[in-house]
Chains A and B, each alone.
Chain A
Amino acid sequence: MALLQISEPGMSAAPHEHRLAVGIDLGTTNSLVATVRSGTPAVLPDSLGRPLLPSVVRYQADGKVEVGYAAQAKQAIDPRNTIASVKRFMGRGLKDVAHVESAPYDFVDAPGMVQLRTAAGIKSPVEISSEILKVLRARAELSLQGNISGAVITVPAYFDEAQRQATKDAGRLAGLNVLRLLNEPTAAAIAYGLENASEGIYAVYDLGGGTFDLSILKLSRGVFEVVATSGDSMLGGDDFDQRLFCWAVEKAKLPPLGARDMRLLQMKAREAKEYLTFHGEAPLTAKLSGGEVVDLSIDSETFCSITQTLVGKTLGPVRKALRDAGLAVEDIKGVVMVGGATRMPQVQRAVAEFFRRDPLNNLDPDKVVALGAAMQANVLAGNKPQGEDWLLLDVIPLSLGIETMGGLAEKIIARNTTIPAAKAQEFTTFKDGQTGMSFHVVQGERELVADCRSLARFELKGIPPMAAGAARIRVTFQVDADGLLHVAAKENSSGVEASVAVKPSYGLADADIERMLRDSFEHAKEDMHARALSEYRVDGQRLLEATRSAVSVDGALLRPEERKEIEHKIAELEKLLGGKDARAIKQALDALNRATEEFAQRRMDHGIRRALSGKMIGSL
Chain B
Amino acid sequence: MSAAAGKALTSSRLQSHFELFGLPPAFALNKEALEKAYREIQSQVHPDRFAHAGDAERRASMQWTTRVNEAYRVLKSPVQRARHILELHGVDVAFETNTQMPTDFLLQQLELREELEAALQKKDGSLLDALKKSLREQKQLLESEIGNAIDQRQNYEEAAGPVRKLMFLDRLDAEIDEAYEEIE
Contacts and interface: CB of A to CB of B under 8 A. Distances in A.
Interface in B56-71: 56-57, 59-62, 64-66, 68-70
Interface of A: 3-4, 6, 8-11, 19, 150, 179-180, 220-221, 223, 316, 319-320, 323-324, 376, 379-382, 391-393, 417-423, 478, 480-481, 542-543, 546-547, 550, 556-559, 562, 590, 592-594, 596-608, 610-612, 614
Interface string B33-53: 000010111111111111111
A540 to B, nearest CB: 10
22 contacts: A3-B43, A8-B49, A9-B57, A10-B49, A10-B51, A10-B52, A221-B39, A223-B42, A223-B43, A319-B180, A379-B48, A382-B51, A382-B52, A418-B72, A421-B70, A546-B53, A590-B55, A596-B54, A600-B59, A608-B14, A610-B44, A611-B44
A611 B57 contact: no
A470 B82 CA distance: 30
A393 B45 CA distance: 12
Nearest to A539: B54
A596 B53 CA distance: 11
A220 B10 CA distance: 33
Interface in B121-151: none
Contacts of B13: 605
A423 B67 CA distance: 10
A559 B51 contact: no
Contacts of A316: 181, 184
A316 B125 CA distance: 13
Contacts of B37: 611-612
A601 B43 contact: no
User: In the complex, which of the residues B37, B45, B60 has the most CB atoms of chain A within 10 Å of its own CB atom?
Assistant: B60
B94 interface: no
Contacts of B156: none
B6 interface: yes
Contacts of B40: 4, 611-612, 614
A546 B51 CA distance: 11
A599 B56 contact: yes
A543 B62 CA distance: 18
A10 B53 contact: yes
A600 B44 contact: no
Taking residues whose C-beta sits less than 8 angstroms from the other chain, chain B's interface range is 35 or more
B49 A593 contact: no
A601 B72 contact: no
Contacts of A557: 1, 6, 9
Nearest to B4: A559
A605 B70 contact: no
B71 to A, nearest CB: 11
B102 to A, nearest CB: 28
B27 to A, nearest CB: 19
A366 to B, nearest CB: 26
A287 B10 CA distance: 76
Given A422-B66, A557-B9, A607 B47 contact: no
A340 B45 CA distance: 36
Given A559-B3, A610-B44, A546 B52 contact: yes
Nearest to A550: B57
A150 B49 CA distance: 15
Contact of A556 (B1, B45, B181): B1
A9 B72 contact: no
B51 A612 contact: no
A95 to B, nearest CB: 23
Nearest to A592: B54
Interface string B1-41: 11100100110011000001110000000000000010111
A485 to B, nearest CB: 13
B89 interface: no
A543 B61 CA distance: 16
A597 B56 contact: yes
A392 B48 contact: yes
A170 to B, nearest CB: 20
Contact of B9 (A180, A547, A606): A606
Contacts of B181: 316, 320
Given A391-B46, A546-B52, A608 B10 contact: no
Contact of B52 (A380, A558, A597, A606): A380
A554 B3 CA distance: 15
